[in-house]
Chain A
Amino acid sequence: MMPRLKQTVEHIGVPRLIIAGFLAIIFVIAYLTDMSVPQLITDSLVRVGMNGILVLAMVPTISCGVGLNFGLPVGVLSGLVGALISMERGLAGFPGLLAAIVFAVPIAVVVGYLYALLLESVKGQEMMVGTYVGFSTVAVMCIFWLMAPFKNPELIWAIGGKGLRFTLTLGNHFGKVLNNFAVFQLFGVKISGGLLGFFLLFCLLIYLFYRTKLGIAMVAAGANPVFARSAGIDVRQMKAVGVVLSTVLAAVGIIIYAQSYGFLQLYMAPLMMAFPAVAAILIGGASLQKATISNVIIGTILFQTLLTTALPVTSRVIQGDISEVARLIISNGMILYALTRPTGGK
C-alpha cells in the first residue's frame, strides 16, 4: 500500500499536490464564507484562456534544448506591435483581432530568428542571456513607443501629438471579441467557448506540430544533440525553429491576453511577463528538458485559478492584499524547485 501511494505521489508530483491542496482549502473557505463558487470558477477560466498561449510558448524552447524561454518579452513586444498596427488602421472586432495576429506573426518570425542566432552564440547560458535580452528589449521598445510614427489620436497622448499612451483601451477595437464569443452556462459557470476554444485550438496545433517530421526532429535535437547530429539533423536549425515558434506563440499569446483584459499595456508592462508563464508550465509538471501540452493545460489551470481565487478569498480572512506576495513566493518557489531538481540535468 505504502509504496503504491508513494508512487502515485511521485507520479503526480509534490508541488502539484501542494498547490491542488491549497486550491481545495481556498474553495472550502469560499464555500463556507458564502462566496459564489461558480463565479470564482468563471473568473478562473477566463484567466486560464487569457494566459494559456503565453504558457504554451514555453514548450518549443524546452523541447528543442534551449530551456525555459525567459526572453518571452521579445515575442510579446512583436505581438504588441502587431496589435498596434491593427488599431492604427482602425480595425475592429474579429477582423481587428485577426489583423493583429497577421501583422504580428511575420515580425515575431524575424525577431525570433535573430533571437535564436543570439542564443546560439551564448550556448549554455541561454536562460540567463535570454532574461536580460528580454529586459533590454523592453527598455528599447519603451523608447520606440515614445518615438513611433503612430497617428491615430486614440493611441497617442492628447498633448504633444507624439508618443503612445501607457495603456490603450481595446473597447473600440478587438477588446473581448473572443471572450464574448460562444458563451454558454454550465452549472452556473459561464464558459467562454471562443476564448477557451482558441487556447485549445493552439494546443492542438502544437500537438500536431510535434507529430510532424519537423517536430520529431526538433525534439530529437533537444533530447540528444549528439545522436541527432549523427542522424543527419541540423541541431542548430532545429533550435532556431523552436525559438521562432516560441516567439510567435508569445506574440499571439499577448494579443489574446490583451483582448481578454480589454487593455493593451505598453512600456514597462511586458518586463516580467515571462515569469508567470515559466511558473505555470513548471507547476504543470514540466522540467527544464521536457514539457508537454498537458503540462501547459494543468499548470495554467492550477496557477491561474490559485491567483484568481487567492485575492477575493484570502481578503475575507487576512487584512491587506496578500495575493501579490503569494504570487511572488509561489511562482518563484516553483521555478527554484525546478532549477534545483537533480533530474534537471546539466
Chain B
Amino acid sequence: MTQTHDKTVESRPTVSLDMRRMILTNGVPILFLVLSITMALVAGLNITFLLNEVVTRLGRNSLLVLSLLIPVTAGMGLNFSIVIGAMAGQAAAIAVTYWRITGVQGFLLACLLSTPIAAIAGWLAGNVLNRAKGREMITSMILGFFANGIYQLIFLFLVGPIIPLKDPAMLLPQGIGVRNTVDLINISQALDKIWRPVIGGVRIPVVTLLVSAGMCVLIGFLLKTKIGQNLRAVGQDMHIAEVMGIKVDKTRIIAMILSTVIAGWGQLIFLQNIGTLNTYNSHEQVGMFSIAALLVGGASTRRATIWHAIAGVILFHTLFVVSPLAGQRLFGVPQIGEYFRVFVAYGIIAVALALHAWQGRQVRRQEIKEAMLTE
C-alpha cells in the first residue's frame, strides 16, 4: 500500500521523510531491539549463554508463531485461538505417551494424530469467527478460554470413566483425570536429538530449525497459489472478494484450519523440546507468547510476514531471557524480576496493539499530507 503511494509522490520525498517513515513502520522492532540490548548490558549476561537460549527458543517457538501468519493474511487479525491447536497437539502427545511409542516415530505419529483433531477444531473456530466479523481477535481469545474449559472437562472428568486410558501412572490418584504433569520421556527431544552440533559453544538443533524453515517455505509457497491469492483478497476487502466470486466464509475457515493444524504441530515441537507436559497449563500461555513475539517482530494485526515472525521470536525471547535478570540486577528483589517478565509479555501486546493503532493514524495522516502536496 505505502509503496504505491511512494511512486505517486515524485518531487517531495526527502531523506528525512523516508527516515521518519522507516522509523514509523519499524518502530516496534527498533524499540525492542534497543530495549533488549540495554537490558542485556544491564544484566551483564554471558553472550554464549544468551545465544544458546535464543537458538533453543527459536527452534522451540518458531512454528507456533508461524501458525499466526495465515489468519492475519486473511484479515482475521491475530489468532488467539491457536491455543486450540496446542490442545490438539497435547492430546496427541498424551496418546503417544500412553501407547509408549518412542523417538521420532512417536513424534511423527503424534503430529499425524493431532492433525485431524486440530482440523476439526479449526473448522469449528472458523465458523464461530465468521459470525463475529470485525471482532475476530477478542472472539478468538474468548474461544481459547472456552476451549480450555472443554479441554479440562475432557481431561479431568472424561478420561478414565469414558475415554479408556488406564495407566495409573498417568491418571490422578482417584483414577479419573490425567495427572497435572505428564513425563513425555518417549518423545522428549526426539527432533532436537537427531543432529545437534555445537558451533562456537552454541548448541544448534538443526533438524528442528530445518522443520521451521521448511514451514516458512511452505507458507510462502502456499500464499503464492490460488488459495493464497484468495486469502489475500479476502484479507484486503471481504466485499470486493465476494463480488470477485471468492467464497469468503469458506476461505476464512480454511485459514483457521491451517492455522490450528500448524499450531498443533508447533506445540508438539515445543513439548518435545521441553520434555514434560503440564496437562492443564502448557497451552495456556501459547497464544499470548506467540502473538507477543510476532508483534515485537513488527507485524501488525493486518500485515505479518515470515520475517516478522523470525525477527519477533529472536527479539522477544532475548528480552524474555534477559528481563528477569535485568530486573533483579536493577532492583535486587528476585520476585521483581519474575513479575517483570510477566509484565514484559502482557505489556508488549498492549504496547504493540496500541502503537499500531497510533501508527496507523500517523501513516494515514502523512499520506493525506503527501496527497495534498502533490495537488
Query: Contact residues of A with B, CB < 8 Å?
Result: 70, 118, 121-125, 127-129, 131-133, 135-136, 138-140, 142-143, 146-147, 163, 267-268, 275, 318-320, 322, 324-329, 332-333, 335-336, 339-342, 344, 346
Contacts and interface: CB of A to CB of B under 8 A. Distances in A.
B146 A147 contact: no
Contacts of A128: 137-138, 141, 353
A129 B350 contact: yes
A135 B354 contact: no
Would you call the interface of chain A mostly helix, strand, loop, or mixed? helix
B336 A146 contact: yes
Given A328-B145, A332-B149, A333-B146, A139 B339 contact: yes
B134 interface: yes
Given A132-B350, A320-B174, A340 B131 contact: yes
B290 interface: no
Contacts of A275: 145
* Range, interface on chain B: 35 or more
A340 B133 CA distance: 8
Given A125-B301, A163-B333, A325-B153, 20 more contacts: A121-B354, A121-B358, A122-B357, A123-B357, A131-B141, A132-B346, A139-B347, A142-B339, A146-B333, A146-B335, A147-B336, A320-B157, A322-B157, A332-B142, A333-B146, A336-B139, A339-B135, A339-B138, A340-B131, A344-B135
B163 interface: no
B156 interface: yes
Contacts of A267: 339
A136 B146 contact: no
A336 B357 contact: no
Would you call the interface of chain B mostly helix, strand, loop, or mixed? helix
Given A128-B137, A143-B339, A118 B146 contact: no
B239 to A, nearest CB: 13
Interface string B60-74: 000000000000000
B354 A122 contact: yes
A136 to B, nearest CB: 4
B349 interface: yes
Nearest to A326: B149
7 closest residue pairs by CB, A with B: A328-B149, A139-B343, A329-B149, A132-B350, A332-B146, A122-B357, A340-B131
Contacts of B176: 319-320
A207 to B, nearest CB: 28
B357 A339 contact: no
B342 interface: yes
Interface of B: 128, 131-132, 134-135, 137-139, 141-143, 145-146, 148-150, 152-153, 156-157, 174, 176-177, 301, 331, 333, 335-336, 339-340, 342-343, 346-347, 349-351, 353-354, 357-358, 361
Contacts of A163: 333, 335
Contacts of B343: 136, 139-140, 142-143
B276 to A, nearest CB: 23
A133 B354 CA distance: 9
Contacts of A140: 343, 347
Contacts of B333: 146-147, 163
B347 A340 contact: no
Contacts of A125: 137, 301, 353, 357
Contacts of A135: 346, 349-350
Contacts of B358: 121-122
B339 A329 contact: no
A336 B347 contact: no
A68 to B, nearest CB: 8
A286 to B, nearest CB: 15
A135 B287 CA distance: 14
Nearest to B341: A139
Contact of B135 (A127, A132, A143, A268): A127
Considering residues A132, A135, A340, which has the most beta carbons from chain B within 10 angstroms of its beta carbon? A132
A142 B135 CA distance: 30
Contacts of A325: 149, 152-153, 156-157
Considering residues A70, A133, A340, A346, which has the most beta carbons from chain B within 10 angstroms of its beta carbon? A340
Nearest to B338: A142
Contacts of A335: 142
Given A133-B350, A139-B346, A320-B176, A339 B132 contact: yes
A142 B141 CA distance: 24
19 contacts: A121-B361, A122-B353, A122-B357, A123-B357, A124-B357, A125-B137, A128-B138, A129-B354, A132-B349, A139-B342, A146-B333, A147-B331, A319-B174, A325-B156, A332-B142, A332-B145, A336-B128, A336-B139, A344-B135
B296 to A, nearest CB: 14
Contacts of B357: 121-125, 129
Nearest to B353: A129
A333 to B, nearest CB: 6
A131 B138 contact: yes
Nearest to B335: A146
B353 A132 contact: yes
A268 to B, nearest CB: 8
Given A125-B353, A125-B357, A133-B350, A329 B132 contact: no
Nearest to B361: A121
Contacts of A322: 153, 156-157
Given A332-B145, A332-B149, A143 B128 contact: no
Contact of B148 (A132, A146, A328): A328
B77 to A, nearest CB: 8
Given A132-B349, A319-B176, A328 B146 contact: yes
A150 B26 CA distance: 42
Nearest to A132: B350
Contacts of B142: 332, 335-336, 339
A123 B357 CA distance: 8
B138 A143 contact: no
